[in-house]
Chains A and B, each alone.
Chain A
Amino acid sequence: MISPGFFGLYNAHRALLTAQGAMNVVNANISNANTEGYTKQRADITEADPYAAPSISQLSQGQVGQGSIITQVTRSRDQFLDAQYRLANGISGQNTTMNGIFDQLQGIVAEPSTNGANTAMQNFYDTAQQLSVSPSSTAVRSQFMQQAADMVTTFQQEGQQLVDLRKNLVGDPSDTTSFATSQLAITANQINTMLSSIVKINQSIASVQSSGANANDLLDQRDLMLDKLSNLVDIKVTNYDSGQVDVTIAGQNMIKGVTQMDSLQVIQNTGTTPAPDDVPSLIRTVKGGITLNDGTAPDISSGTLKGINDMGGNDLTLTTVRGLLGKLDSLLTSIVTTVNTLQTSGRDLTGSLATSNPVFKTDATLNPSQPLAMFHYVANTDIIKNPKLLAAASDDSTQTGNFAGVGDGRNATLMAQLRDKTDATLGSNPVDYLTGMTTSLGIDASSYQSSSKSQAALVGSLSQQRASISGVNTDEETIDLLRFQRAFEASSKVISTLDQMYQTIINMAG
């Protein structure tokens, strides 16, 4: 017994379809060679079920192949690498964000330079010294007050820039509209948008796959979205054979398959009175799962969100925006207090006690929305107008009128010596304090610089490993193109040969 009459034609037809199908996959690969997130696809070609099914009445020559078919088109992807990539990507996102903020901080602190706080402070102490040598010179007195005003302004400008930066990062209680526009809130919104896109793609994948088709392109889109999301916040992804994924953030279920369970929100921290040391904003899930910054252990461990939150946070011991602000505040307050203490116990050029004429005054109406003391200091305008009020002389009970004379610069000498005097509130002298602040900023900035570089390199290398598996090599595809072209030609030849054979038989019958 032989196989049915047109058996060969059907075989060859399947071969043509297989070659065409494979060609389509090659085509898709080539056209998406540079598409972000595209995973190289592969046509899985297998032999078709042989003819005939095994039975007692075996064909004499045994089973005959029925050609080839494409069983499925699969993506070349390694989920283990995906997980590694996303983990590294989260840390990289955090480091890159912090590195960027450190760059801004270094720009604000502006050291070493001739127009930073260090120069302003040194200029001030220099004129104090000059005053001690020429206490009767009105020019030197004016210059002293000028430098005092300049120093306060320089500190306040740097401080204001830090306040603005922090407001931009996490919002400011004095401006309630700033919470919606803070980087923290914008990042949380981005995360929410991605979460809802992922849910929608999950739904599409479910409907495509329920009809038995493969949803490779949708899977690619979804995986790309997950990659991007992992840069913003650390996520845990659970893959299912159905093609669905669950996503959790900090242990909270955000997505379960086709259902969105929760989303993030950033709200103003109104728990306590707005004081400088409160964290302005809290990160929560709508259903109340995660609360970052409320005093409990932080649960988000990486990502841009974490970087913004940490740098805008209130840890005074870390080099955060608030930490630097606190240090500038302590320093200026220490300078103001120590100088004023000397001034108000000394005698001015006319020999009067300067008790009611401090060098620096506190004006609460100046920058009223700022709780920190440094924003309220101002050089005493009475002394600026009348520099004679400056107390360069000591209060000397052994002299007539407790005043030795206009040549007495002893009090000014004490002011100049404050530069090298350890202040209990600072734990060092003002100069060393500022140097220490600048140096620790430098050390932290440089460590984030290098860790953001090395983390980016790790992400890069993982991304290359993924490209090695999932990427398209156009040379490979060209070879496949030739391979299937030849297969198509050969099958066509089979058809034309069979056709000639049938022709022969038909002609015989005629």
Chain B
Amino acid sequence: MGMRITNNYLTQQSLTFLHNNLNNTSALQQKLSSGQNINRPSDDPVGLVQVLDLSNTLRTDQQYSKNIQSAVSEANTSDSAMNSMISLIQRAQEITTQAANFTTGSDGRKSIGLEIDQIIDQMVQLGNTEVGGIYIYGGMKTDSPPFSRSGDTITYSGTPSTIDWQRSSEIAKGVQVNVNVNGSDLLGSASLTASSPLPNTFAAGSQGIFKTLLDLKSDLNASSDTNQTTEIQARLDELTANLNTISGQQATVGAISNRLTLSQGRIDDRKSVLTQQYATLQDIDMPSTIAALNSQQNTLEASLNVTGRVLQNSLLSYLK
């Protein structure tokens, strides 16, 4: 003989089934309305680790991306400032060649000297290029113009060019990239080191474009009747060397810029992969969840229907 089924047994069982069905329906409903697979840690503890890791990586990448963007903007400004510097030097070469010409007299040389003086001013201005309030050629001293001119003395008050004072930016976990070119590398003495603290004045013996331009100016202004050909010729060679220095630095900036662009590309690639993974874990599969909800609803209706029928049955209905 089978199990004795009693009325309470039937109601208890029906209630248990209905309760389970309602629970399942509610879980699906929660998923559908939040759009997320994992709404609390217990929903999928293992998936949760991945979801948290992915979202953490995505947000740090976002920060790296911001860092890259600001570094790129500095590199771009730096690049265009260097273009202007190169044009200025080329102009200086042009007029200096003219000055070296025998036909240019002392007056002519002096007027060329005036233009060189202006070129020096413009060069100082370019050395003080800023991006968003930051003087890019001052090393870590970004709050004040690194170059200042007082008569025929130009002073660099930025930090030295040693690696320690390079401003850097983190562009990936543990990867620091130097974002700046040092003003003293670019325009002033390369021999400036930590042991010779600031400020550094470009006096005799130091190298760089300022020294050359200042020397050139003084050569052109010399009241001597001689043509100063030897001196001016020497300055022309120096100008070429300075041009090469700046081009070299421009190439460095170009390389930084390339590296940043590549990193940004990597971050973008990774972002699409990670976002995809994140979506796979955390975003619900809408069609299948809806299908599951529908089938759950059918089950619920069926169990309600069956409960209604089973509980209605009684011998009393058949006794007349």
Q: Which residues of A contact B (CB under 8 A)?
A: 33-34, 40, 102, 106-107, 109, 111-112, 118, 122, 126, 129-130, 132-134, 136-137, 393, 396, 398-400, 404-409, 413, 416-417, 419-420, 431, 435, 438-443, 445-446, 449, 457, 460, 463-464, 467-469, 471-475, 478-479, 482
Contacts and interface: CB of A to CB of B under 8 A. Distances in A.
B14 to A, nearest CB: 11
B173 to A, nearest CB: 6
Given A129-B63, A467-B6, A472-B8, A416 B45 contact: no
Contacts of B197: 399-400
B20 to A, nearest CB: 9
B176 A406 contact: no
B9 A122 contact: no
Nearest to A445: B42
A408 B158 CA distance: 12
A79 B46 CA distance: 44
A439 B55 CA distance: 15
Interface stretch (B139-147, B245-253, B258-266): B139-147
Contact of A136 (B3, B143, B158, B316): B143
Contacts of B310: none
Given A106-B41, A468-B5, A416 B165 contact: no
Interface in B5-19: 5-9, 11-13, 16
A460 B7 contact: no
B38 interface: yes
A417 B176 CA distance: 11
B40 A106 contact: yes
Which 6 pairs show the lowest CB-CB distances between chains A and B?
A442-B41, A471-B6, A407-B142, A405-B141, A442-B45, A445-B42
Nearest to B9: A467
B49 interface: yes
22 contacts: A34-B11, A40-B6, A112-B38, A112-B48, A133-B70, A134-B70, A393-B140, A404-B164, A405-B159, A413-B168, A417-B174, A435-B49, A439-B41, A439-B46, A441-B41, A445-B42, A467-B12, A468-B5, A469-B4, A473-B5, A475-B315, A478-B314
B38 to A, nearest CB: 6
A439 B49 contact: yes
A435 B6 contact: no
B42 A442 contact: yes
B8 A122 contact: no
Chain B interface extent, by class: 35 or more
Contacts of A478: 314-316, 319
A468 B11 CA distance: 12
Contacts of B287: none
Nearest to A36: B8
B31 interface: no
Nearest to A456: B16
Nearest to A482: B319
A464 B9 contact: yes
Contacts of A132: 169-170
B42 A406 contact: no
Given A398-B194, A405-B159, A408-B140, 15 more contacts: A122-B60, A133-B71, A134-B70, A134-B134, A137-B133, A404-B141, A406-B141, A419-B60, A438-B48, A439-B45, A439-B49, A445-B42, A467-B8, A468-B3, A471-B6
A136 B169 CA distance: 14
B63 to A, nearest CB: 5
B314 to A, nearest CB: 6
Interface of B: 3-9, 11-13, 16, 38, 40-46, 48-49, 51-53, 55-56, 59-60, 63, 66-67, 70-71, 133-134, 138-143, 158-159, 164-165, 167-170, 173-174, 176, 194, 197-198, 282, 314-316, 319
B41 A109 contact: yes
Contact of B59 (A126, A449, A475): A126
A122 B167 contact: no
A406 B142 contact: yes
Q: From B12, B38, B42, B197, name the one whose CB has the most chain A CB atoms within 10 angstroms.
A: B42
A129 B9 contact: no
Given A439-B41, A464-B12, A413 B176 contact: yes
Given A106-B40, A405-B159, A449-B42, A413 B140 contact: no
Contact of A130 (B44, B66, B139): B66
Contacts of A398: 164, 194
Nearest to B47: A442
Contact of B56 (A122, A407, A443, A472): A122
Contacts of A457: 16
A396 B314 CA distance: 93
B53 A435 contact: yes
A473 B10 CA distance: 10
A399 B314 CA distance: 98
A494 B314 CA distance: 33
B143 A118 contact: no
B185 to A, nearest CB: 16
A165 B265 CA distance: 48
Given A442-B42, A449-B42, A467-B12, A112 B55 contact: yes
B142 A442 contact: no
Nearest to B49: A439
Contacts of A460: 12, 16
B139 A34 contact: no
A409 B60 CA distance: 18
B299 to A, nearest CB: 18
A40 B5 CA distance: 13
B310 to A, nearest CB: 12
Given A404-B140, A438-B41, A442-B40, A34 B7 contact: yes
Given A129-B67, A406-B142, A474-B7, A446 B43 contact: yes
Given A129-B63, A473-B7, A399 B40 contact: no
Contacts of A435: 49, 52-53, 56
B48 A442 contact: yes
Nearest to A398: B194
Nearest to B168: A413
A226 to B, nearest CB: 18
B40 A468 contact: no
Nearest to A443: B45
Contacts of B282: 112
Contacts of A464: 9, 12-13
Contacts of A126: 59-60, 63
